Amino acid sequence: MELMPDEHNNTPSDLILLDAEGRALVLDFCLFVLINVYCPNETSDARLPFKMNYHYMLQERVNNLINEGREVIVVGDINISATPLDHCDGHLASNAATFHDHPARAWFHNWLTPSGCMTDVVRTFWPDRKGMYTCWNTKISARETNYGTRVDYILVTPGMLPWIKHGDIQPSLNGSDHCPISIDLHDEIVTSAGQKLTLREVMPTDRDRDEPPRLAARRWDEFSGKQTLLSSFFAKGGKTTTTTSIDSQAPGLLRPSSSQVPAILSIPAPKIAGAVLMDLTQDPSPPDACELRPFFTSTSNLKSSTPYGQNQEQKSLSPPSVPPKRKATDPPLVKANKMQKKESGPTGQRTLAAFFARPLSLSQTSTATSDPPSSDVDPSDSLHADHQLALWLSGSQDLDASFQSSPSSASSGSKAAWSQLMAPVQPPKCIIHGELTKEYTVNKPGPNKGKPFFICSRPVGPGYDKGKGERPREEVDHKYRCNFFKWSAEVRREALKDKAKPPPKQQ
């Protein structure tokens, strides 16, 4: 296996570093070996040798399995567009002529049929389908116009083709920048020799294995003896229950801690009832009847359920009985008390006019506080007072305006300057479409990170204007985003200059 040297002309001596990122998962299903991969992306030129060497390693692994007589299915993100039909800009003349000049695309093209041993199953069912993309750049809202690429594949060896029933993508499912792809398998097939095979027979799932498969993790040195058993995740942890008797504690050292809750609950029922009755005899003003009902109810339940002195430990761990709910026929004691308190207290605010009334003087305050508040208020008087307040406010607007002194020219100028400075920037219009632009913020690390800017608000699409250096002018489609760009600070400076200009003279 030949590997690509890096920028320093160094070739990897082993494949451990290529597999150090955990980009592959290998499963043996008897009928086939499944390899789920996430191939590296070419984020820079320095990353290209690692990407290519990973592809070479994947191809070598598949070839070794084929030499052993195994069928292989490779699924996942290959991060390569196989043909110009799988790329949003592949139909453009500047890309179609040199599409396979990239080393990754050239390798993938030679690995697929008819040049190689792997078959792109989904494309075989949709050979001429356009726009069958599986990945979109969500940062530029490319999914709105289906401006994407097809980089996710299901590749199979020739022996698996008779089992493939159908294959397709599911672009309507959101939640990621990729969409799912799937294939269906036949339940049974008939071989060329006339033998009938069922999927359940060739992929047994219920037979007992004496030994795990050779690809199991226990056969790997880095995982051998270090795996946690699955049963440990569902085992119950050891519970240590500490029950402390209340008799062993001093009366002054009781604390409402969790360890002493069972001890508090283990008080016999007669003691609780006796304590309540003793408090009633000592307190000349007993509490309300609704407050005593839970104590008597729980006491009676405890007496009727278990005799005193029998199975105290079990009773101490049981939760306290829940008091019964109040019925509709019960006397509304609490409501009556609330009504009495409400009637006995002050009447409070009654009209809207009091919010706008002038504060009382000292003599008026003493006079007002000496008089008791009247509880008999006619609703018509409140409405009349509100109506009078509305008329007074309407008539006093001109009077208040006349008493207010006009601000000085300096303060008005300062206020206007601050309002212009803090006002949001109005988005400019792009030159091509004449539409309002959209503001974004730079997130890429660098000197411009965090700076806002404006670009065309139209979505991207095939042939959108990337700039003269990246897109030939004859391939630009003005239906999509143009190359308008302007910093927000520049837009603000231009707006301030326009406001500072004197108005045109009227003839």
pLDDT digits (tens, 9 = 90+) for 248-295: 344 443 444 434 434 333 334 444 344 433 444 444 444 443 343 443
In a domain, 90, yes or no: yes
* H helix or E strand, kind and range, residue 165: strand 164-169
Residue with tokens 């045109």: 504
In a domain, 392, yes or no: no
Would you say residue 354 has pLDDT above 80?
no
Give residue 499's pLDDT: 74
Q: Which of 60-64, 65-69, 205-209 has the lowest mean pLDDT?
A: 205-209
Give the chain's domain count.
2
161: number of Cβ within 10 Å: 13
Residue of 77, 89, 120, 465 marked catalytic: 77
Considering 192, 218, 244, which residue would you say is the last residue of a domain? Answer: 218
Give residue 207's pLDDT: 61
Report whether 79 belongs to an annotated binding site: yes
Would you say residue 240 has pLDDT above 80?
no
Q: Which residues contact 318 (CB under 8 A, 6 or more apart)?
A: 265
- 185 neighbors 163 (Cβ within 8 angstroms): yes
* H helix or E strand, kind and range, residue 155: strand 152-156
Q: Does the annotation mark 153 as catalytic?
A: no
Nearest residue to 475 (alpha-carbon basis) of 57, 92, 205, 142: 92
Report whether 221 belongs to an annotated binding site: no
Alpha carbon 224 to its chain's center? 36
- 27 neighbors 212 (Cβ within 8 angstroms): no
pLDDT, greater one: 242 or 226 = 226
Residue of 91, 102, 109, 178 marked catalytic: 178
Q: Which amino acid is at 356?
A: F
Q: Is the peptide bond before 428 cis (omega within 30 degrees of 0)?
A: no
In a domain, 268, yes or no: no
Report whether 110 belongs to an annotated binding site: no
Per residue in 123-134, is it b (16+ CB within 10 Å) or e — as a string? beeeeeeeebbb
In a domain, 129, yes or no: yes
First to last CA, the chain: 86
Instruction: Tell me the Cα Rg of the chain.
Output: 41
Q: Does the annotation mark 178 as catalytic?
A: yes
Tell me the sheet residues that pair with 25: 36
Q: Does the annotation mark 87 as catalytic?
A: no
* H helix or E strand, kind and range, residue 388: helix 379-395
DSSP state of 141: T
Count the helices and strands in the chain (H runs, E runs): 15, 14
In a domain, 176, yes or no: yes
In a domain, 76, yes or no: yes
Report whether 433 belongs to an annotated binding site: no
Give residue 407's pLDDT: 54
In a domain, 446, yes or no: yes
**Domain ranges, residue 480:** 424-499
pLDDT, greater one: 419 or 193 = 193
Would you say residue 305 has pLDDT above 60?
no
Cα–Cα dist 367/381, whole Å = 22
Nearest residue to 128 (alpha-carbon basis) of 180, 85, 95: 85
Q: Which amino acid is at 392?
A: W
Cα–Cα dist 105/85, whole Å = 13
Would you say residue 230 has pLDDT above 50?
yes
In a domain, 414, yes or no: no
Q: Is 142 exposed, middle or buried (0-12, 13-18, 19+ CB in 10 A)?
A: buried
Q: What is the mean pLDDT of the chain?
A: 75
Residue 217: helix, strand or coil by DSSP?
helix
CATH of the domain at 175: 3.60.10.10
- 152 neighbors 132 (Cβ within 8 angstroms): no
- 138 neighbors 57 (Cβ within 8 angstroms): no
pLDDT, greater one: 6 or 284 = 6
List strand residue ranges (DSSP E) for 124-247, in order.
135-136, 148-149, 152-156, 164-169, 181-185, 188-190, 196-198
Residue of 6, 28, 38, 102 marked catalytic: 38
| pLDDT grade for 357, boundaries at 50, 70 and 90 | low
Would you say residue 96 has pLDDT above 70?
yes
Please name the residue ranges forming H helices in 163-236: 199-202
Considering 156, 188, 218, which residue would you say is the last residue of a domain? Answer: 218
Considering 218, 234, 266, which residue would you say is the last residue of a domain? Answer: 218
